[in-house]
Amino acid sequence: MPTYSEKVMDHFMNPRNVGEIPDADGVGLVGNPVCGDMMAFYIKVDNGRLSDVKFKTFGCGAAIAVSSMVSEMAKGMTLEEAKKLSNKDVADELDGLPPNKMHCSNLGADALHKAIEDYESRSRAPREPVKIKEVEPVPEKECVCPFCDSALEERDPTCRVCGAELDFCPECGEALPKGTEKCPECGARVEKA
């Protein structure tokens, strides 16, 4: 089972800025089909700064903690500063994430960036109410090697960076060390080939 920092647990148990901004200036939606995490970020912009940031997340504890931290970090930033917010910045602010949860920090930063893109595209065009159509999937490259944290190709049984042999959870798609019998993420049994 992954070990989480106190900050991750605090943001998971007491998430900040949860909710929706009904008259949001921008909305960013992302999802990861491999792990099932989905995030929606809502932003308000005043004089080029993020005056309010809210989120809704469906996912694991790390995804919720990441969303909470991204919302806290981004509030008050200029749009340019927020565009530079990276997955490493988020993970560092949370005092680290287990290697197999780093993709969550990508999702949080990606959702914020998409909300900013939405704001910028609508500020160039006539204003329309925000309509949420569907979650835009994040490419499967977000699946990471549990040994070296490198992005994996689609269910590749061998990490191309460190050479580790891998299995994949049949339920959540998590990359696992070869021979793992039970997925530490969702608890599913992993069939032996």
- Asked if pLDDT for residue 40 goes beyond 90, the answer is yes
Inter-CA distances, 156 with 80, 141, 173, 187, Å: 36, 11, 12, 22
Which regions of the chain carry the CATH code 3.90.1010.10? Answer: 6-124
The topology under which CATH files domain 6-124 is: Sufe protein. Chain: A (3.90.1010)
42 vs 128, more confident: 42
Where is pLDDT greater, at 134 or 160?
160
Beta bridge partner(s), residue 182:
189
Tell the residue number behind the tokens 């959870």, with chain if given.
169
Identify the weakest region by mean pLDDT among 7-16, 46-55, 70-79, 120-129. 120-129
pLDDT in tens, 61-94: 888 888 999 999 999 999 999 999 988 898 888 8
* 184 burial level (CB within 10 Å; 0-12, 13-18, 19+): middle
- As given in the structure block, the two tokens for residue 1 are 């089972």
Q: What is the pTM of this model?
A: 0.62
Supply the residues annotated as catalytic: 35, 104
Above 70 in pLDDT, residue 112? yes
Phi-psi region of 41 (alpha: psi -120 to 50; beta: other; left: phi over 0): beta
Q: Give 16-42 as a 3 state SS string.
A: CCECCCCCCCEEEEEECCCCCCEEEEE
pLDDT confidence of residue 71: 94
125: which DSSP letter? S
The mean pLDDT of 123-133, rounded to a whole number, is 62
Query: What is the separation of C-alpha 71 from the centre of its chain, rounded to a whole number of angstroms?
Result: 12
- pLDDT at position 33 is 63
**Mean pLDDT for all residues in the chain:** 81
